[in-house]
Structure 1
Amino acid sequence: MSEFKMEHKNPEGLFVSKAFSQAITVSGKAKTIYIGGQNATNSKGELIGAGDLELQTKQALNNIATILASENASFANLVKLNIYLLSGCDPRIGYKAFQEVAGLLENPPLVTVLFVSEFARPACLLEIDGIAVIEDKD
């Protein structure tokens, strides 16, 4: 039996969403994966989808999937996502792209969406960072 437990919680009195959880607890022997801000840059340093939020979201999520896979994790292991969108961008476009890349998660992560005035790389429309947890096998 595993000592690792991750529970997604939506306490009574709070909205229950298919897009995000209200709280997540992690207990037991766990390894935490901190994911640095990912934008739409590919492995060659090229920006994918200039001016296209859907394509940029998919590339950023593919980058996150690569990081997760390198630790034997998946989107199901995400605990928290911070999504930074350029002011004026429609978050519904990003949500649709998330569903296409990650699928509809039975237990979605905590999500915070913030609008910003600009990014270090001017053509970027978004940046996503996050936290995931997996069972620590060591």
Structure 2
Amino acid sequence: MKFCFILIISTLVGTFAMAQTPSNLSLGYIYRVNSGLPGKQVYISGQRPYNEKGELVGVGNLSRQTEQVFENIKASLGRMGMTMSNVTQVTYNYKGSSGKGLVDQNLTQQVAGIAKTYFAGVTTSQIAKTNSVAKIVQDDILIEIEVIAVK
């Protein structure tokens, strides 16, 4: 029944595909969805800093983890015939940020600096949202990024 349901949803809504390797499935919500709607929207959710072997990259290093997540997003978009220039919205979820749901500005600036290299010519502050989270699926993960892209 579960297989039939997925097949029906896939036919009606669009294409569901893995954004990272199958070995990462147990580590959390890591999917790419092509909605099949006009304008060809693509939703990439819960991208985390795992390499192609399913290994966590950059333990304790926010910059390295952010770079790996952007590489994963770039590769996922590439499989859909898109690039980072197709991204219309970015959501950053930071772990261990200060205050009651407030994101540390140092973290935001650090990630924004890295984002500039991936979003050439786009002012990401206009399309970005940041969230503070107590924990991401694993203690060593410092950032999770979601994007929406339109072709």
- Equivalent residue, structure 1, for 2:79: 70
Calculate the TM-score normalised by the size of structure 1. 0.70
Residues 1:117 and 2:134 are matched in the alignment: yes
Report deviation, 1:93. 0.8
Report deviation, 1:106. 6.3
Identity of matched residues, %: 25
Cα deviation 1:5-64 (Å, max 9, x = unaligned):
xxxxxxxxxxxxxxxxxxxxxxx9411111021011111111111101100000000000
Aligned positions, number: 107
Higher relative contact order, chain-length normalized (CA < 8 Å, sep 6+)? 1
Amino acid aligned to 1:102? F
Report deviation, 1:86. 1.1
- Equivalent residue, structure 1, for 2:93: 84
Secondary structure in 1 matching 2:40: strand
Calculate the TM-score normalised by the size of structure 2. 0.64
Cα deviation 1:84-128 (Å, max 9, x = unaligned):
011236111111111123334268762110011111111000000
Query: Structure 2 CA distance, aligned partners of 1:124 and 1:107?
Result: 22
Report deviation, 1:75. 1.1
Query: Structure 2 CA distance, aligned partners of 1:120 and 1:84?
Result: 12
CA RMSD in angstroms comes to 2.0
Report deviation, 1:76. 1.0
- Equivalent residue, structure 2, for 1:131: 148
Amino acid aligned to 2:51? N
Unpaired segments of 5 or more residues in structure 1?
1-27
